[in-house]
Amino acid sequence: SELPGRYKVRDLSLAAAGRHQIRLAEHEMPGLMALREEYGESQPLRGARIAGSLHMTVQTAVLIETLTALGAQVRWASCNIFSTQDEAAAAVAVGPHGSPEDPQGVPVFAWKGESLTEYWDCTEQILLWPEEGPNLILDDGGDATMLVHEGRRFEQTGAIPADPEPGEQGYSDELLVFRTVLRRSLAADSQRWTRIAAGIRGVSEETTTGVHRLYQLAAAGELLFPAINVNDSVTKSKFDNRYGIRHSLPDGINRATDILIGGKVAVVCGYGDVGKGAAEALRGQGARVIVTEVDPICALQAAMDGYQVARLESVLDSGDFFITTTGNVDVITADHLVGMKNKAVVGNIGHFDNEIDIAGLSRVPGVRREEIKPQVHEWVIPADEGQEEKSIIVLSEGRLLNLGNATGHPSFVMSNSFANQVIAQIELHDPNAEYDLDVHRLPKVLDEKVARLHLDALGVELTELTKEQAEYIDVDVAGPYKSEHYRY
Ligand code: NAI
């Protein structure tokens, strides 16, 4: 993986199947198609060299081809080992005008079911360019940004510290794999990441967890380039995180297990944007939903929405489904997993797999794992005093189940998220825009613009303010319609 590769996907012959899906997705992504229309001629991304790390799905294919339609050069990897749709990856690598024998598309490095080493190799590949390095990152979860920051940090300090031993603070298999890839990279070129970091004008970040990492870097004074927080555009987090999950969570559970949700008890950990969508979807299927929360405001919201709010420990033996949506670590511990009722289904839909301690489960004496099918595992827990042998079903090894077991959010909602991404990339690439070394959000007028681009497709008739009304509520007739502190 040392030299910049041209692409690495499962099978280029899947491109035709992927192209059909992309064509249908385009119809469902009016925001992205409107941006192609608006900017196709002026090419605001000419000269942009974008390293993209975001689930390589059909929807992302439409995003990538929107970026190239606006003049950008792009290299792409997935931000999760299970989330790639191989036919979409093939179609993007082949491109609309190429063929499997003569691929002419975008260099994509992604396939469903990567190992962790392959995952970091692919992430490295999007940052290695044949000539000049990338000047923009488009990130989801912050792994590409982390690779550049960590790589540069270790180049500056001269060494990577010794790895923690199993059981020590900070130890994880992923950390060790990441460090191994980084060591190899530093051995190949000891100034690589310093050079790449210096060339990057900015990053636009897709999700809650990645944004959290960026604010941590900014607070520590370690952020190396300006960032745009796309997640906190209203048309992203209040739509994708909520309505997207409302669609793709049951999709993932159904494709993985085909177990009836109606009449069962579903426990949703976290009642933020993702948790709200998850709880609504499960209730919509007829489940009795129980929410766990740490934040009194979100707990009260859940109660007012009619959900029981409980501690996980109190409901372990009643839950048929357990879904984590917190973006936090160790939310479901190995003890919790062992205490669940027989055949409980356990899955995570937050960004990283550290919400559920699957590694801890694997260390429970006598436990064994049966693969039911890829991304669906039964963990058999041996009989214990007074308890019979039982098992639990773990989806996608504790990684994002809507992308591991299904195909992620549907196109229409992703059109909103990705329209924000495209606008953010244009902003960061604009030579006249001055973004200081901090985490920024897009202005509200652009948020409203993204929403506006999606109204016609749904037959929405928007009411217009009269001049008098606009004056009365102190806004412009053309918006923005709300103050910055309004919460939607
Ligand atoms: P959020 O901050 O709105 O919600 C998280 C909620 O979890 C908060 O209300 C918080 O109080 C609660 N929480 C934290 N620790 C907890 C604990 N130990 N027990 C119970 N509740 C706890 O964040 P959002 O936007 O809902 O995102 C959640 C996660 O989902 C993030 O990792 C985000 O990156 C990811 N995400 C995944 C998507 C997918 O397609 N699978 C789509 C969008 C976001």
271: annotated binding-site residue? yes
444: annotated binding-site residue? no
Ligand 1 atom index nearest CA of 241: 43
Query: Residue 377 forms beta bridges with which residues?
Result: 371, 394
Cα of 213 from ligand 1 centre, angstroms: 14
Minimal-distance CA residue to ligand 1 atom 14: 326
Report, as ranges of residue numbers, the positions in the chain whose pLDDT lies below 50: 1
398: annotated binding-site residue? no
Residues of the chain with CATH 3.40.50.1480: 12-238+409-446
Ligand 1 atom index nearest CA of 351: 32
The ipTM assigned to this model is: 0.99
Minimal-distance CA residue to ligand 1 atom 44: 241
241: annotated binding-site residue? yes
CA atoms within a 13 Å half-sphere pointing along the CA-CB vector of 241: 26
The two structure tokens encoding residue 322: 């357990």
481: annotated binding-site residue? no
| Fold classification of 12-238+409-446 (topology level) | Rossmann fold (3.40.50)
Cα of 297 from ligand 1 centre, angstroms: 14
- For residues 139 and 472, what is the distance between their CA atoms, to the nearest angstrom? 41
Cα of 91 from ligand 1 centre, angstroms: 32
Residues of the chain with CATH 3.40.50.720: 242-350+353-398
Scanning the structure block, which residue is given the tokens 């992308």? Answer: 403
- For residues 183 and 159, what is the distance between their CA atoms, to the nearest angstrom? 9
pLDDT value at residue 159? 82
The answer to whether 197 and 226 have CB atoms below 8 angstroms apart is no
In this structure, the residues whose C-beta lies within 6 A of any atom of ligand 1 are 207-209, 237, 240-241, 269-275, 292-295, 298, 325-328, 331, 349-351, 400, 402, 408-409
**Which CATH number is correct for 242-350+353-398, 3.40.640.10, 3.40.50.720, 3.50.50.60, 3.20.20.450?**
3.40.50.720
pLDDT value at residue 2? 58
Ligand 1 atom index nearest CA of 349: 41
- For residues 22 and 120, what is the distance between their CA atoms, to the nearest angstrom? 27
Cα of 409 from ligand 1 centre, angstroms: 16
Scanning the structure block, which residue is given the tokens 């973004």? Answer: 435
273: annotated binding-site residue? yes
Ligand 1 atom index nearest CA of 211: 34
The two structure tokens encoding residue 238: 């209040």
The amino acid occupying position 82 is F
Ligand 1 atom index nearest CA of 408: 40
The two structure tokens encoding residue 244: 């997207």
The answer to whether 43 and 115 have CB atoms below 8 angstroms apart is no
